[in-house]
Amino acid sequence: MSSRIAFLLFTLLLLAPVILAQPKQPPPALPPERVVGNAKVYYIDRLDETRAEFFSYIQGTVMDIYAKKKEVIGMSLEYAVRGHKAVRPSSVYLSLTSYSAHPDNYTSGHKITIYVDGKEILSADGVDRYAGKDFLRSSSESYAIPRIAYSDFEKMSKAKKIAVAIGSTKIELSDDAVKGVSDLMKTIEN
């Protein structure tokens, strides 16, 4: 019996450093403070900042990313303001992320254009979100318009139809995605 105990103690002493060296799991993601349709609002205490966001796959689905048979584009629209209340922001941040087997579709042409009810309201060169992060480029590329004026965001939120173009790829947003833009506007408190 004592040889079993000695073996168990030896095994524990041998494995303890390995077990203790395992990386700790990150804390679970906090749930949003508020959800308005497809938009989510978070308060980040350490920054004293409220962030609201809407995300949608505007071309393809998450499962298409894994199949790597066609390009998938995700659109994120978000804003951040100081304090615990989601007040009117001065601008909104838009990013488009392309997932494909060949993640260099837009390296030579990453102009982003936004159309509201058939009219162009904004066109700007997308800022490369992965600059200096080559490990992310293995399967995706991402470009952003960091400052969309509130007045343009307001037009988007009232639109019946929205289209977004990156390079030569133009995508008509689904009714759900258009509603998501409107939902993001509705997160703003008076």
The full DSSP string for 35-50 is EETTEEEEEEGGGTEE
Dist CA 44 CA 48 (whole Å): 6
Lowest mean pLDDT among 5-14, 40-49, 54-63, 163-172: 5-14
CATH, domain range 28-186? 2.60.40
Q: Give which of 93, 92, 94, 82 is closest to 151, Cα–Cα.
A: 92
Amino acid at 148: I
pLDDT at 66: 79
pLDDT band at 11 (very low <50, low <70, confident <90, very high): confident
Q: Report the alpha-carbon distance of residue 21 to residue 178 in Å, rounded.
A: 47
CB atoms within 10 A of CB 118: 9
138 versus 148: the higher-pLDDT residue is 148
Q: How far apart are the first and last CA of the chain?
A: 73
Helix (H) or strand (E) segment spanning residue 18: helix 2-20
Q: Using the predicted structure, report yes or no on whether residue 79 has a pLDDT greater than 90.
A: yes
Q: Is the dihedral of CA 177, 155, 128, 35 positive or negative?
A: negative
Q: What is the pLDDT of residue 137?
A: 61
Confidence of residue 7 (pLDDT cuts 50, 70, 90): confident
